[in-house]
Amino acid sequence: MAALIAENFRFLSLFFKSKDVMIFNGLVALGTVGSEELFSVVAFNCPCSPARNYIYGLAAIGVPALALLLIGVIWNNHTWNLVAECHKRGTKNFSAAATFLLFGSIMGRASVAPITWSVISLLRGEAYICALSEFVKPSSLDKFPAEYGAEVLAKFPCRDVPANLTKFRDEVTRRLRYESQLFGWLLIGIVAVLVFLTKCLKHCCSPLSYRQEAYWAQYRSNEDKLFRRTAEVHSRILAAKNVKQFFGFVALDKEEKELVQEFPVEGVQPSPQWNAITGVYIYRENKGFPLYSRLHKWAKGVEGNGPTPEGHELLFLAS
């Protein structure tokens, strides 16, 4: 049983490693769906009041979507690489196409959660019905009593209406839910088409073969994992040395003692080295040889960030 469980975990680990971006986007979408469902059940409460329904309904759809978009932008590594790039080097090395690609990559990944939120909100229909019920024209309802107006229509989402208006409330609710779900399905279709066209455009414009792109993706993933793991060990050993120098001893567990003995750390990397490997990176070649990252470029001793006569700039961002 233990071997079977270990094998299953190994399979899941490999699956997540090979599909990390797709899995991450899927988990973001699922988390957004769950959050939207919880919000609708617990927090959403239409005021059923003229002039307030519209603001509340749109806010229920738009404000969480905006918050999720900003969170997605903050969590994207490209955002802070762009900040570092602008701070250290400016944007002189970016072409218009590269700049467009950069912002497209940031906004595209950050849009997964807000689009999911908007789609689920539209498919459920509660917020849309709340926002637009008061704007339904009474003349569009067959035999609607003339003495009732927008104030009564605004109360339809709360079912707080006279008994003789029940059938009109059901009709208005059904009509608005149809419109809301139609917009939701249209949004899904538009996003699907845009994603398909973007993928096609990326592969058509890329001078790299499919296998080289796959290798580049593997290299980026491995470099990032190894860099983070090594940085964690390096910082721990350096901290241990400094603590020992201050107190005269340092309390280390067995694993940490082995790390200190196995990996001697003499000092820290100077700021110019950190600056050289930090920032936005767009795939480049130097004399026909690929440079897969800023770290790779620094290790090869290639200077500058702009395209050279022997180099080639590919409009494709490193994750």
For 23, 56, 64, 230, the CA distances from 69, given in Å and listed in that order, are: 19, 20, 8, 32
- Alpha-carbon distance of 213 to 113, in angstroms, equals 27
Give residue 261's domain range.
210-300
Q: Tell me, yes or no, whether 63 and 164 share the same domain.
A: yes
C-alpha dihedral (270, 274, 276, 279), degrees to nearest 10? -160
Q: Tell me, yes or no, whether 145 and 110 share the same domain.
A: yes
- Alpha-carbon distance of 76 to 318, in angstroms, equals 12
Q: Tell me, yes or no, whether 187 and 229 share the same domain.
A: no
Q: Which of 9-13, 78-82, 113-117, 314-318 has the lowest mean pLDDT?
A: 9-13
Q: Tell me, yes or no, whether 96 and 58 share the same domain.
A: yes
| 278 confidence band (pLDDT: 50, 70, 90) | confident
- Alpha-carbon distance of 49 to 69, in angstroms, equals 29
Q: Tell me, yes or no, whether 86 and 198 share the same domain.
A: yes
Q: Tell me, yes or no, whether 118 and 100 share the same domain.
A: yes
Mean pLDDT estimate for the chain = 79
Q: Is the pLDDT of residue 199 over 60?
A: yes
- pLDDT at res. 89: 66
pLDDT one-digit tens code per residue, 164-182: 778 888 888 899 999 999 9
End residue of a domain, out of 180, 205, 230 = 205
Q: Is the pLDDT of residue 109 over 90?
A: no
Please check whether residue 28 lies inside any domain of the structure.
no
Number of domains in the chain: 2
Please check whether residue 85 lies inside any domain of the structure.
yes
Cβ-in-10-Å burial (0-12, 13-18, 19+) of 309 comes to: exposed
Q: Tell me, yes or no, whether 220 and 256 share the same domain.
A: yes
C-alpha dihedral (199, 202, 206, 210), degrees to nearest 10? -20
pTM: 0.70
Which residues on neighbouring strands pair with residue 289, listed in sequence order?
286
Q: Tell me, yes or no, whether 195 and 214 share the same domain.
A: no
Q: Tell me, yes or no, whether 214 and 192 share the same domain.
A: no
- Whole-number CA gyration radius for the chain: 28
| 22 confidence band (pLDDT: 50, 70, 90) | low
Around 276, how many Cα atoms within 13 Å sit in the side-chain half-sphere? 15
Identity of the residue numbered 128: Y
Please check whether residue 80 lies inside any domain of the structure.
yes
Coil/strand/helix, residue 38: helix
- Alpha-carbon distance of 112 to 75, in angstroms, equals 13
- pLDDT at res. 45: 83
Please check whether residue 71 lies inside any domain of the structure.
yes
Q: Tell me, yes or no, whether 54 and 199 share the same domain.
A: yes
Closest CA to 201 of 55, 315, 56: 315
Contacts of 219 by beta carbon, 8 Å cutoff, 6+ apart: 292, 293, 296
Q: Tell me, yes or no, whether 179 and 138 share the same domain.
A: yes
End residue of a domain, out of 205, 235, 253 = 205
Q: Tell me, yes or no, whether 150 and 281 share the same domain.
A: no
